[in-house]
C-alpha cells in the first residue's frame, strides 16, 4: 500500500482526508523511525522530505508530560529547551510569559 504524503516522522499519511492534513508542516529529516510493532518505517540516515503531522511536531510538556499543541508552548528557560503548557506554569511564570508576549 502506498501512503500518500507520509509524515516524515511517523510515516502516517498527511494527505487530505486523513486527519493529519490540517497543520501539517514541511519537513525533511533522516532519523530512524519504527511503528508500534517495531517494523522499520525509515532507516537511520534515510533522508525524506515532505510533511510532518501536527502530532509529531507537538512538544512534550516538561511539567505534566502531555504533548503541547502547536504554538501553545511556553518556554521555561531563555533558550526554549524546556517547554510547558501555559496551564502548567506557576503564577510567577505566567506573569512573566504574559509580559513577554504582551505586544503580540
**Strand runs labelled E in the chain:** 25-29, 33-34, 40-42, 48-52, 59-60, 67-68, 73-75, 83-85
DSSP 31: -
Nearer to Zn ion, 12 or 103 (CB): 12
Please list the alpha-helical segments (H only) found in the chain.
54-57, 91-100
Task: Figure out which of the listed residues 10, 41, 74, 76 binds Zn ion, where binding follows CB under 5 A.
Answer: 10
Nearer to Zn ion, 5 or 103 (CB): 5
Cα 10 from Cα 76, distance rounded (Å): 27
Confirm or reject binding of residue 74 to Zn ion (CB under 5 A).
no
Task: Figure out which of the listed residues 9, 13, 33, 83 binds Zn ion, where binding follows CB under 5 A.
Answer: 9
Is residue 100 classed exposed, middle or buried when 0-12, 13-18 and 19+ CB atoms within 10 A define those classes?
A: exposed
State the binding string over 19-58 for Zn ion (x if CB under 5 A, else -).
----------------------------------x--x--
By CB under 5 A, how many residues form the interface with Zn ion?
Answer: 10
The residues of the shown chain that bind Zn ion, judged by CB under 5 A, are 7, 9-10, 53, 56, 61, 63-64, 85, 88
Amino acid at each position: 500500500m502506498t501512503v500518500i504524503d507520509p509524515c516524515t516522522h511517523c510515516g502516517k499519511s498527511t494527505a487530505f482526508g486523513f486527519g493529519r492534513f490540517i497543520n501539517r508542516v514541511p519537513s525533511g529529516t533522516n532519523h530512524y523511525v519504527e511503528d508500534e510493532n517495531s517494523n522499520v518505517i525509515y532507516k537511520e540516515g534515510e533522508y525524506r522530505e515532505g510533511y510532518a503531522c501536527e502530532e509529531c511536531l507537538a512538544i512534550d510538556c516538561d511539567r505534566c508530560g502531555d504533548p503541547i499543541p502547536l504554538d501553545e508552548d511556553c518556554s521555561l528557560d531563555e533558550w526554549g529547551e524546556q517547554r510547558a503548557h501555559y496551564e502548567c506554569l506557576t503564577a510567577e511564570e505566567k506573569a512573566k510569559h504574559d509580559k513577554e508576549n504582551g505586544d503580540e
